[in-house]
Each structure stands twice: as C-alpha cells, then as structure tokens.
Amino acid sequence: DWNSGNVIADQVARIRERVGDSRVICGLSGGVDSAVAAALVHRAVGDQLVCIFVDHGLLRQDERRQVEEDFVASTGVRLVTVDAVEQFLDALAGVTDPETKRKIIGREFIRCFENAAEALVLEAAADGAPIKFLVQGTLYPDVVESGGGSGTANIKSHHNVGGLPEDLQFELVEPLRALFKDEVRAIGRELGLPEPIVARQPFPGPGLGIRIIGEVTRERLDLLRLADAIVRAELTDAGLDADIWQCPVVLLADVRSVGVQGDGRTYGHPIVLRPVSSEDAMTADWSRLPYDVLARISNRITNEVPGVNRVVLDVTSKPPGTIEWE
C-alpha cells in the first residue's frame, strides 16, 4: 500500500546508508522535483547537503524568494544562491533564435553551477569531508523515457537547463526514480514544503527566456513577469489550477499594434495566453477557459502592464502547435 510516510522513511534510510559521512550537493530549479529530492536528502543527512540555486533572471515573480526564504525555512537546507542575472542578460543580448537562446541559457547555467560547485568542493575538501554525491530529481517517467539506464547525468540534458556535464565527477543520488509526479507532490507535502513549490505547474528550464518572442531584455522580462503573475493569480482565484496543465504567457516583443487608452493612441505589444490541458505534454488541447476569467485577465494586463495594449488567446492544439511558442 503506497504511503508517503513509508517512502520517506525508506529513502531516508537508504540515503544515509549510501552517503555515510560524505557530502552532497544539489541544484535547485524552483520546481517540485529538485525541491523534494533535496528535502529528502536533507532529512537523511542534514547539513552534509548543500544546495545551489542559480538565479538566471528568467524566473517568474516571487520564485527566487520562495526558494531562498520559504523552502529554506521549511527544510533548514543550506543554500548557496548564484546571482547570475547580469551574466545571462549579457549572454542573451541580441539573440532571437529559439534554439540559440536555449543553448546559451544551458551553457551559462552549467558555467554558474560548475563554478559554485567547484567552490564548495574545495571548501569541503579543506574540511576533510569531500563532496561525493550529486542529487537529481529524476522521476520514473524520465527513467522510462531514457530506456531505464542509470547513472546518466540527465536524460533531458539537451532539453533541460538542469542537465549537467559528465565531467562533474559525482555519484548520483536519485531518490525519486521510482515515483510519479503526483507521488512526488504527496511526499513534498508530507515533508512540509511550501505549497507554491509543491503545486508548481511545469515550467521550462530556459524560463521566461523562451516566452519573449524576440530579444530578451531586462525591461521585457519585467513586463512579462508582471503579466504572468496576473494570469497565475487569476487562474488560481478562479479555482482553475487543477484543470490546466500549464499556461504559458508569451510576450510578442517584436510585434506592435495600435490601441487607444484614455484619450491617447497607443502602439504597444500583445500578450498571448496559452492555457492547455494535457496528460504528459506530448499532446495537448487548448483549455476552454470561462469568458469572465479571460475578461478579467485581459482587463488587468492591459491596465497594469505598461506597454501592453492587447491580449490574445491561443486556440491551437498540440499538434500542430507546441505548448511553448519557442
């Protein structure tokens, strides 16, 4: 009989046994998998674990605070944050091609993580307790997708910003390898993790960087972050979170259209809403959101987000459309 308390007790015992006195590092993304994996390992070995969180500036509103404050408060995990916002903005300057953005974001992410890990490795070695293990939040569907192989750094490394290079010489600890997402959420709740992290919908590793169609700039990220926060708040208030797989909010930064606001003509950017329902993101249908919810979102975005004068709804299924616009 599946029971999150049993899984936790079992994993804690195994992790303790395997890790012994060694130290462990874990990258946090802000998402549920890495948070639950880290919390489990922390329950097992306490401060032998250090987590690394890279703020690439492409996160949604409040996500950094949720990790740095709420996650840390609920677990007691030792956390190192890498503030890499400038570095990512510089690297992304002038870039508009989606795959190039992904490559750059992935590359910079690995750089940041490696630098932070290296500093921790040196510090730990000086303490006489080397870091031997790396925690990954690999789930059962990821294992199946990869053909069941073990010990790989990350099967989605081409797709996932969490993917790490092979020359980071750590043994992997993957306490969620036998679990499905809803089981991971149950364990996260049992471990007392903050609800916004446990309930977080899928969010791509490259974050808001692939939701700005056009060049990524600080100003555009600020606009998109605001629009995205409005959409999330309204969907949650309307009780729609459980019906929606995810809802990308996309800024068409290179498109302008004419509008009228107050007694002036505007020439602003459109925001696209892309709410979808799906089982596994392989296929998806556009969500039939209630008109009154759409109306509220549209009113709020056009009133509250400077430079945005139009909100449009994406009514394409997948296929032929992908969930993300890039």
Instruction: Work out how close the CB of 158 gets to ligand XMP at its nearest, in angstroms, rounded to a whole number.
Output: 9
- CB proximity list for 256: less than 8 A, separation 6 or greater: 267, 268, 269
Q: Write out the binding residues for ATP.
A: 29-35
According to DSSP, residue 201 is labeled P
Q: Does the protein bind ligand XMP through residue 27 (CB under 6 A)?
A: no
Within the chain, strands assigned E span: 23-28, 49-55, 78-83, 131-135, 171-173, 212-213, 249-252, 257-261, 264-273, 276-277, 285-286, 308-313
Stated length of the chain:
326
Our CA dihedral for 175, 179, 185, 189, rounded to 10 degrees, sits at -50
Q: Does the protein bind ligand XMP through residue 281 (CB under 6 A)?
A: yes
Q: Does the protein bind ligand XMP through residue 205 (CB under 6 A)?
A: yes
Q: What is the largest CA-CA distance in the chain?
A: 70
Stretch that binds ligand XMP, among 10-18, 181-189, 200-208, 265-273 (CB under 6 A): 200-208
Q: Does the protein bind ligand XMP through residue 202 (CB under 6 A)?
A: yes
Residue from 27, 137, 175, 206 binding ligand XMP (CB under 6 A):
206
**Token duo for residue 292:** 């009154």
Which CB atom, from 181 or from 318, has the smaller least distance to ligand XMP?
A: 318
Stretch that binds ligand XMP, among 58-66, 198-206, 226-234, 294-302 (CB under 6 A): 198-206
**Token duo for residue 30:** 């802000």
Contact pattern from residue 151 through residue 170 relative to ligand XMP, giving x for each residue in contact according to CB under 6 A and a dash for the rest: --------xxx---------
Strand 131-135 vs strand 23-28: parallel, antiparallel, or unpaired?
A: parallel
Q: Does the protein bind ligand XMP through residue 181 (CB under 6 A)?
A: no
Residue from 66, 75, 138, 246 binding ligand XMP (CB under 6 A):
246
Interacting residue ranges for ligand XMP, rule: CB under 6 A: 102, 159-161, 202, 204-206, 246, 281, 318, 322-324
